[in-house]
Amino acid sequence: MAEKKKTTLNEVLKREKFQKLAKKEQEKSKSVIVVRPDPPAPVKKEDGPGSKIYKTMDESMSDLRFYFLEGEYRERVAELFNANEAQFDRLGITPRRFLDFARESFDRFKQLQKKMPLEPMSKKAWDYMERSLSELIGKLNDRFNK
């Protein structure tokens, strides 16, 4: 008969550690595909004023960092960009860069309010983001339009 081998605490801890690492590697190797249902026919302005921001939003929807662009806030961000599009053209700010500014502002709000990383956009968050972007636009105009 096989003798029962005494195991030490270190051996048990090492074995559990390796099991956890193997499990994490398996989870990483599995590719998780996030499927989002298509939004209900958003209003698109094709080849007219303001079409650049909608095209950029459509391209960035596959990026999880821009999840807050779903719903009513998508239109609000587009309106904010379109209202200042002439200034952005003069300053050389692309629609993608504007969306990055919006995302950074929303991330700052979440950090200040200690919100979860994928917390949905709220009225309070929108107010903060809109105020932050308006201040940014004002400061850029003051700095570069002398």
pLDDT tens digits along 9-18: 777 777 888 8
Is 76 inside a domain boundary? yes
Nearest CA to 110 out of 118, 98, 99, 101 is that of: 118
Is 75 inside a domain boundary? yes
Is 23 inside a domain boundary? no
Domain that holds residue 101: 51-144
Cα–Cα distance, 131 to 74 (Å, whole number): 16
Domains held by the chain: number: 1
Is 70 inside a domain boundary? yes
Instruction: Please give the pLDDT value at position 97.
Output: 92
- pTM value is 0.62
pLDDT, tens only, 79-90: 888 988 888 888
Residue 27's Cα: distance from chain center in Å? Answer: 23
* The residue to which tokens 């919100």 are assigned: 115
Q: 111, 136 in Cβ contact below 8 A?
A: no
Is 121 inside a domain boundary? yes
Average of per-residue pLDDT across 20-26: 81
Residue 38's Cα: distance from chain center in Å? Answer: 18
